């Protein structure tokens, strides 16, 4: 039994999956709302367990490790899953009441894959975990089937681009194996420098960059966000990004840090491209989901900056950024799910005068927007500031300046939503949108996270620093 202890968290999630499966079978087809609550409670319990345990070593003969980094990332995934499930409960119950069990099963399966992925130290396990995490997402993007076929289109776009990217990633991983002669990531660095190795690195990176949504692998992002159901997009916009970075951290920092000078330049180029293009996509948007999609591309570009510099400080700040991003970005999408449901459209016009009709909801959205923009005393402020500091220390001042200028530009489109809420009057006869109880819980958690990390970032920064330092052995 103790041999399985490092796998406690994925195993707990498997347990939740079984519970959800049984509950889905037992409950009458007319009333299965409880399934979602069960799933949320189960994952919340797992999250609580993850906060109680400490790193417990290796499993599968060293292919998997539960170290500080795994634990930190697992907590991020679990938090994102709890929020994602809570936000989906009302939506699922309303739009596909009989099939809601499937929704949670798929989401939990993806979660289990992510939990294993975070600790993968072997290319084979990494691929298996990566695909376990990724496959269910394609299906989830298609749920519920919308009458105009938009969700199907969103899912198909995601799937085809994803298939191409996965193929490239697998090709890259096979090249890495070919160059190093081993699937153990730690041994990759010992391989002699060769074009083979680096084509492999770049191809692997390209595959992961699709999951993260980096330019130029981002084309699916706005289309899929727009078409898929918003509560799912909340999860999609956060957890797979963290998973992509987890895989990249394991491969590039865990195995190929010695060749850092060789993979740094292309990553910096992609980071700059993502930050620029993401903002450019977001600026003219009237559709809030597409706006958030553009903003998300820019945000992951900023994270790539922290990732690329290859220092423990950079890794730590990437980890902190991910935690801040979970609460902030999911919060914004959860508000959007409420507003989209209320107005039956994702247009920004729906936000007009929200501060007067629903001050609480408007305030929550304002906090998320300010955090995304990096305004002081929101989680996103410390995240951005610390990434900038880390990148500055790594002597990439030009990119810090670019990122800072773009962050100021980004204020423009974030504040457009705020303007609609606070300055424009509500339309005639506007009523407050209904916020279901589980959604409300998710929103409160997001607000607490966004403000909490903003006012007192210490514990999170501390554990991120510890995780990064131990991971890189610095």
Q: Which residue has the tokens 């409960």?
A: 89
CB of 27 to other proteins, least distance (A): 38
Structure tokens, 315: 């890794």
Contact 83, 237 (CB under 8 A): no
Per rule CB under 8 A, is residue 170 in the interface with other proteins? no
Give yes or no for a contact between 96 and 90, defined as CB atoms under 8 angstroms apart: no
**Stretch of 47-55, 72-80, 94-102, 381-389 contacting other proteins, by CB under 8 A:** 381-389
CB of 57 to other proteins, least distance (A): 26
- Cβ atoms of 368 and 121 within 8 Å: the answer is no
Q: Quick one: which of 145, 419, 437, 462 contacts other proteins (CB under 8 A)?
A: 462
Site string (130-159) toward other proteins, x via CB under 8 A? --------------------------xx--
| Interaction of residue 31 with other proteins, rule CB under 8 A | no
Count of residues in the chain: 474
Site string for other proteins, 332-371 (x = CB under 8 A): ----------------------------------------
Stretch that binds other proteins, among 122-130, 243-251, 360-368, 451-459 (CB under 8 A): 451-459
Tell me: does residue 192 bind other proteins (CB under 8 A): yes
Judged by beta carbon, residue 203 or residue 372, the one nearer other proteins is 203
Closest Cα to residue 334, out of 371, 292, 287?
292
Does residue 160 bind other proteins (CB under 8 A)? yes
Q: Is the peptide bond before 298 cis (omega within 30 degrees of 0)?
A: no
Nearer to other proteins, 16 or 169 (CB): 169
Q: Is 68 in the site for other proteins (CB under 8 A)?
A: no
Measure the CA–CA gap between 163 and 363, rounded to whole angstroms. Answer: 40
Q: Under rule CB under 8 A, which residues in 251-290 are in contact with other proteins?
A: 258-259, 262-263, 265-266, 277, 279-281, 283-284
Which part of the chain contacts other proteins (CB under 8 A), choosing from 87-95, 107-115, 440-448, 453-461?
A: 453-461
Kindly give, in sequence order, each residue whose CB lies less than 8 Å from that of residue 150, ignoring residues fewer than 6 positions away. 226, 227
- The count of other CB atoms within 10 Å of the CB of residue 455 is 12
Contact between residue 422 and residue 362 where contact means Cβ atoms under 8 Å apart: yes
How far out from the chain centre does Cα 316 lie? 16
Q: How many CB atoms lie within 10 A of CB 370?
A: 23
Number of residues that bind other proteins (CB under 8 A): 57
- Which C-beta is closer to other proteins: that of 95 or that of 259? 259
Residue 224's closest CA among 279, 288, 150, 325? 150
Question: Which of 91, 90, 88 lies closest to 108, judged by CA?
Answer: 88
In terms of CB distance, is 37 or 264 closer to other proteins? 264
CB 298 within 8 A of CB 360: no
Instruction: Tell which positions 205-244 bind other proteins, by CB under 8 A.
Output: 205-206, 210, 216-217, 219-220, 222-223
Burial class (CB in 10 A: 0-12, 13-18, 19+), 347: middle
- Residue 178 Cβ, how far from other proteins at the closest point, in Å? 13
Q: Residue 205 CB, nearest distance to other proteins (Å)?
A: 7
Asked whether position 408 contacts other proteins by CB under 8 A, the answer is no
Pairwise CA distance, residues 251 & 253, whole Å: 6
Give the interface with other proteins as residue ranges (CB under 8 A). Answer: 156-157, 160-161, 164-165, 168, 189-203, 205-206, 210, 216-217, 219-220, 222-223, 258-259, 262-263, 265-266, 277, 279-281, 283-284, 312-313, 316, 382, 386, 389, 409, 456-458, 461-462, 465, 469
């Amino acid at each position: 039994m103790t041999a399985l202890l490092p796998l406690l968290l994925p195993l707990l999630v498997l347990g939740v999956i079984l519970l959800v499966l049984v509950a889905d079978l037992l409950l009458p087809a007319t009333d299965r709302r409880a399934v979602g609550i069960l799933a949320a409670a189960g994952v919340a319990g797992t999250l609580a367990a993850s906060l109680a345990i400490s790193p417990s070593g290796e499993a599968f003969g060293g292919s998997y490790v539960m170290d500080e980094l795994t634990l930190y990332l697992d907590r991020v995934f679990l938090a994102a899953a709890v929020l994602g499930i809570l936000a989906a409960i009302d939506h699922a119950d309303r739009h596909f009441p009989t099939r809601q069990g499937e929704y949670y099963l798929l989401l939990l399966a993806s979660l289990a894959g992510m939990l294993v992925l975070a600790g993968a130290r072997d290319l084979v396990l990494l691929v298996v975990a990566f695909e376990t995490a990724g496959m269910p997402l394609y299906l989830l993007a298609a749920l519920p089937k919308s009458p105009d076929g938009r969700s199907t289109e969103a899912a198909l776009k995601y799937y085809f681009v994803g298939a191409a990217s996965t193929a490239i990633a697998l090709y890259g991983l096979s090249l890495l194996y070919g160059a190093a002669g081993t699937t153990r990531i730690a041994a990759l660095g010992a391989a002699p420098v060769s074009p083979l190795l680096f084509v492999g690195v770049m191809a692997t990176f390209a595959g992961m960059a699709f999951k993260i949504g980096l330019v130029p692998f981002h084309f699916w992002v706005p289309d899929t966000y727009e078409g898929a159901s918003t509560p799912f997009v909340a999860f999609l916009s956060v957890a797979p990004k963290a998973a992509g970075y987890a895989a990249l951290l394991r491969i590039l920092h865990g195995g190929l840090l010695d060749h850092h000078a060789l993979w740094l330049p292309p990553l910096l180029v992609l980071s700059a491209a993502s930050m620029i293009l993401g903002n450019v996509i977001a600026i003219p948007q009237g559709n809030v989901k597409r706006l958030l999609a553009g903003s998300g591309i820019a945000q992951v570009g900023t994270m790539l900056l922290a990732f690329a510099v290859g220092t423990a400080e950079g890794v730590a700040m990437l980890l902190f950024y991910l935690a801040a991003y979970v609460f902030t970005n999911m919060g914004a999408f959860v508000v959007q799910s409420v507003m989209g449901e209320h107005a039956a459209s994702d247009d920004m016009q729906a936000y007009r005068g929200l501060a007067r009709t629903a001050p609480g909801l408007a305030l929550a959205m304002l906090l998320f927007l300010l955090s995304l923009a990096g305004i002081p005393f929101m989680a996103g402020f410390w995240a951005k500031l610390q990434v900038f500091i880390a990148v500055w220390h790594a002597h990439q001042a030009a990119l810090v300046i670019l990122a800072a200028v773009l962050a100021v530009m980004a204020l423009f489109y974030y504040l457009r939503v705020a303007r609609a809420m606070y300055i424009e009057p509500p339309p005639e006869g506007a009523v407050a949108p209904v916020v279901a109880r589980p959604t409300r819980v998710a929103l409160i958690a997001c607000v607490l996270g966004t403000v909490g990390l903003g006012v007192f970032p210490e514990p999170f920064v501390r554990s991120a620093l510890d995780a990064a330092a131990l991971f890189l052995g610095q």
